[in-house]
Amino acid sequence: MKLEHQKNIQMLNTLRIPSVANAYVNCRSLLEIRQAIAWACDHDKKVYVLGGGSNVIPLQHIQGLVLQPKLKGIEVFVHNNDEVLVKAGAGENWHSIVCYCVERGYHGVENLALIPGDMGAAPIQNIGAYGAELKDVFWQLEALNIQTQQLEVFDFADCDFGYRDSVFKNAKRDQYIITSVTLKLSTKAKPNLSYPALASHLRERGIDNVDAKDILNAVIHIRRSKLPDPRLVPNAGSFFKNPVVSVQQYQTLLASFPDIPAYEVSLTQKKLAAAWLIEQTGWKGKPLDKVLVHKDHALVLTNPSCEIADKVLGLADAIARDVRAKFDISLELEPRLIGEL
């Protein structure tokens, strides 16, 4: 285990926020993770897990131990005649896993192409895009209990998946380090074209017999046309969750804002488009303290000048205040904070 002190992690987060961790370790094995946890316990340090850095806001000074679990490896198991189980280490890149599966004719993850980050973070966030979510293909995961240092298995029911949510963001928050994730995929094509923009893109190109590669390529094209590349423009992707409201609240909003877009979640709930709400408050393309809302996508906050977390959070707070004042809706951050405010 190679422990580093006063580690600059600016290049380890896609917002390029300047941040220094009191201690940092890149763990490439379960043994190294256990050694790192033991060190943190001996030195009374809180453990902060950092994956690919694409969905985090690191504070300027992090007093605890920042641990990156970079466990690698992919295994494939036959589940039954039409299904396979694909197990990957937490440190595998998510998009690379998607491409790996599609190339081998394993179906189910193609709608989730080009989502930045590592495999271990995918179930925490229950990542989702273009009509699909991680939970749709999830089988199980293994995670190390930080307190007991025992490896535990979490099945679907254990994870309590929700919209951009899981048990690891709630009841089990900061208690586990995910070491591997297993997906259940189909060997038969089951194209998911429920997302209108995706179906429209394929239709416009005259693609009728859609397969996983078609969807993969379409999703990559759409994402690249709408979202800035974090390697070129520092950002963390979608900065706010799309708020879910009651049907009653939606009807009240509809009376005042007839054009408000909404998507059915259940018989009693509607999901609103956070980007639309932000646009209505005039923030699209606008800066604050050198942090700005992207000109093409109001849900993306960019940090071209590499400002500190306080300034990024300042813009987020100003946007949330204006949305609350106009619509009486509270926006929730999607990226998580690393460090103590």
For residue range 78-136, what is the model confidence (pLDDT) as tens digits? 888 899 999 999 999 999 999 999 999 999 999 999 999 999 999 999 999 999 999 99
pLDDT at 158: 98
Same domain, 221 and 79: yes
Give the mean pLDDT of 244-271.
Answer: 95
pLDDT of 1 above 80: yes
Residue 293: per-residue pLDDT:
98
Structural domain boundaries, residue 61 = 3-69
**Within this chain, do residues 276 and 181 fall inside the same structural domain, yes or no?**
no
**So what's the pLDDT on residue 26?**
97
Whether 83 is a known active-site residue: answer no
> 335 and 56 in contact (C-beta within 8 Å)?
yes
Q: Report whether pLDDT(226) > 90.
A: no
Residue 213 and residue 114 in one domain: yes
Burial 143-160 (b: 16+ CB within 10 A, else e): bbebeeeebeebeeeebb
pLDDT band at 208 (very low <50, low <70, confident <90, very high): confident
Query: What is the CATH classification number for the domain harbouring 195?
Result: 3.30.465.10
Question: Which tens digit of pLDDT belongs to each residue from 7-23?
Answer: 999 999 999 999 999 99
Domain boundary among 192, 226, 260: 226
- The answer on 259 and 307 residing in a single domain is yes
Q: Which entry of 83, 152, 279, 334 is annotated as an active-site residue? A: 334
Q: Report the CATH number at residue 64.
A: 3.30.43.10
Q: Give the position of tokens 């379960």.
A: 30
Same domain, 107 and 201: yes
Identify the pLDDT of residue 270.
95
Whether 24 and 51 share a structural domain: yes
Q: Which carries the bigger pLDDT value, residue 51 or residue 79?
A: 51
Task: Provide the mean pLDDT of the chain.
Answer: 95
- My answer on whether 64 and 120 are in the same domain is no
3-state helix/strand/coil string of the chain:
CCEEEEEECHHHCCCCCCCEEEEEEEECCHHHHHHHHHHHHHCCCCEEECCCCCCEEECCEEEEEEEEECCCCEEEEEEECCEEEEEEECCCEHHHHHHHHHHCCCECCHHHCCCCCEHHHHHHHCCEECCEEHHHCEEEEEEEECCCCCEEEEEHHHHCCECCECHHHCCCCCCEEEEEEEEEEECCCCCCCCCHHHHHHHHHCCCCCCCHHHHHHHHHHHHHHHCCCCCCCCEEEECECCCEEEHHHHHHHHHHCCCCCEEECCCCEEEECHHHHHHHCCCCCCEECCEEECCCCCCEEECCCCCCHHHHHHHHHHHHHHHHHHHCCCCCECCEEECCC
Last residue of a domain, one of 42, 69, 96: 69
CA atoms within a 13 Å half-sphere pointing along the CA-CB vector of 202: 24
Q: Are residues 153 and 60 in the same domain?
A: no
The Cα–Cα gap between 219 and 300 comes to: 18
Q: 136 and 102: one domain?
A: yes
CATH code assigned at 297: 3.90.78.10
Does the pLDDT value for residue 340 go beyond 90?
no
Q: For residue 125, how far is the Cα from the chain centroid?
A: 5
Question: How confident is the model at residue 81, as a pLDDT?
Answer: 85
Task: Among 48, 69, 90, identify where a domain stops.
Answer: 69
Residues 195 and 246 in one domain: no
Q: Are residues 83 and 182 in the same domain?
A: yes
pLDDT per position as a tens digit, 150-186: 999 999 999 999 999 999 999 999 999 999 999 999 9
For the chain, what is the domain count? Answer: 3
Output the pLDDT for position 16: 98
State what percent of residues in the chain have pLDDT above 90: 93
Q: Are the C-beta atoms of residues 85 and 44 closer than 8 Å to each other?
A: no
Annotated catalytic residue: which of 19, 164, 180, 307?
Answer: 164
Active site residue 238: yes
pLDDT over 80 at 204, yes or no: yes
pLDDT of 59 over the 80 cut: yes
- Average pLDDT (19-45) is 97
pLDDT in tens, 318-333: 999 999 999 999 999 9
- pLDDT bucket at 334, cuts 50 / 70 / 90: very high
Catalytic residue among 19, 54, 166, 238: 238
Based on the domain organization, do 91 and 191 belong to the same domain? Answer: yes
pLDDT-derived band at 240, boundaries 50, 70, 90: very high
Give CA 302 to chain center in angstroms: 16
Residue 341 has pLDDT above 80, yes or no: no
205 is catalytic: no
252: left (phi over 0), alpha (psi -120 to 50) or beta: alpha
Q: How confident is the model at residue 268 (pLDDT cuts 50, 70, 90)?
A: very high
